């Protein structure tokens, strides 16, 4: 089993989200393309560039990069640096060779709750978002 930590998983996940949203911004002029979809300026699913595609859902997006799919929700004010147990679980399954221990949902939830207890991530107060954001 790998010795990668939950913090490694979170950091890599957020790095991939940034990569995906940078590509969206280059293609569409914005990182948060939900408004374009809702105003029918772009389809729900499409191509970003070459073999990179996207699929919008609810308050989030799935971007299919050449070797990995990254699924994220947009946070308050269009933030892209949020995460939750479900998104981390999906990402761990996508990168199971690196984060195998976190493909066990119960194991991940225990470590995630410990991470929150230590104050390393919090929800934004007065927000309806279910996402957590790292604390400085």
Look at residue 96 and tell me if it is in a domain: yes
> What are the CA-CA distances from residue 115 to residues 37, 46, 111, 120, 134 (Å)?
35, 36, 6, 6, 10
Instruction: Tell whether the model's pLDDT for residue 1 goes beyond 60.
Output: no
Look at residue 26 and tell me if it is in a domain: yes
Q: How large a percentage of the chain has pLDDT more than 90?
A: 90
pLDDT, one tens digit per residue, over 47-102 is 999 999 999 999 999 999 999 999 999 999 889 999 999 999 999 999 999 999 99
Per the structure, the complete domain to which residue 40 belongs is given by 6-134
- Report how far apart the first and last C-alpha atoms of the chain are (Å, whole number): 30
Beta-sheet strands, E only, within 65-122: 69-73, 121-122
Look at residue 1 and tell me if it is in a domain: no
**How many domains would you assign to the chain?**
1
Look at residue 95 and tell me if it is in a domain: yes
Average pLDDT, the chain: 94
pLDDT, greater one: 115 or 136: 115
pLDDT bin (cut points 50, 70, 90) of residue 2 is: low
């Amino acid at each position: 089993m790998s010795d990668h930590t939950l913090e490694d998983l979170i950091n890599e996940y957020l790095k991939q989200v940034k990569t995906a949203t940078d590509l969206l911004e280059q293609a569409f002029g914005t990182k948060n393309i939900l408004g374009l979809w809702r105003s029918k300026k772009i389809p729900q699913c499409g191509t970003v560039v070459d073999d990179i595609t996207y699929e919008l859902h609810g308050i989030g997006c799935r971007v299919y990069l050449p070797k990995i799919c990254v699924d994220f929700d947009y946070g308050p004010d269009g933030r892209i640096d949020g995460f939750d147990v479900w998104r981390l679980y999906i990402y761990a399954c996508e990168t199971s060779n690196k984060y195998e221990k976190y493909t066990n949902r119960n194991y991940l939830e225990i470590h995630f709750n410990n991470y929150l207890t230590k104050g390393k991530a919090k929800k934004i107060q007065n927000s309806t978002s279910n996402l957590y954001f790292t604390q400085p």
